[in-house]
A = this chain, B = another copy of it.
Amino acid sequence: MYKVKVYVTLRESVLDPQGKAVTNSLNALNYNEVTDVRIGKYMELKIEKSDRDIHEVINEVCSKLLANPVIEDYRYEVEECVAQ
């Protein structure tokens, strides 16, 4: 069993209106030291061992369903763990 942590972020060149709204809210709450917020997704997957390569599976899953490769980048970390 693998525990996979996937981080999906908007590409640098893509505007992030949600992050901008959060920045403005924080400034309105007097946290003026916060100058920029960018919002992404964080996902934890549990994947069972199979005959396919784990990295191949993760890359397919990320590019097909979890991230939109046109506007988003993703990276991931794999931890091997004992099934419970």
Interface residues of A in 1-34 (CB under 8 A from B): 7-9, 19, 22, 25-26, 29, 31, 33-34
Q: Give the residue name and chain of the B residue nearest to A46 (CB).
A: B36
Query: Which residue of B34, B41, B57 is within 8 Å of A46 (Cβ)?
Result: B34
Number of copies: 2
Contact, CB under 8 Å: A65 / B22: yes
Residues of chain A whose beta carbon lies under 8 Å from any beta carbon of chain B: 7-9, 19, 22, 25-26, 29, 31, 33-50, 52, 57, 60-61, 64-66
| Known contacts A47-B33, A48-B33; A61/B9 CB under 8 A | no
Known: A37-B44, A42-B40. A29 touches B66 (CB 8 A): no
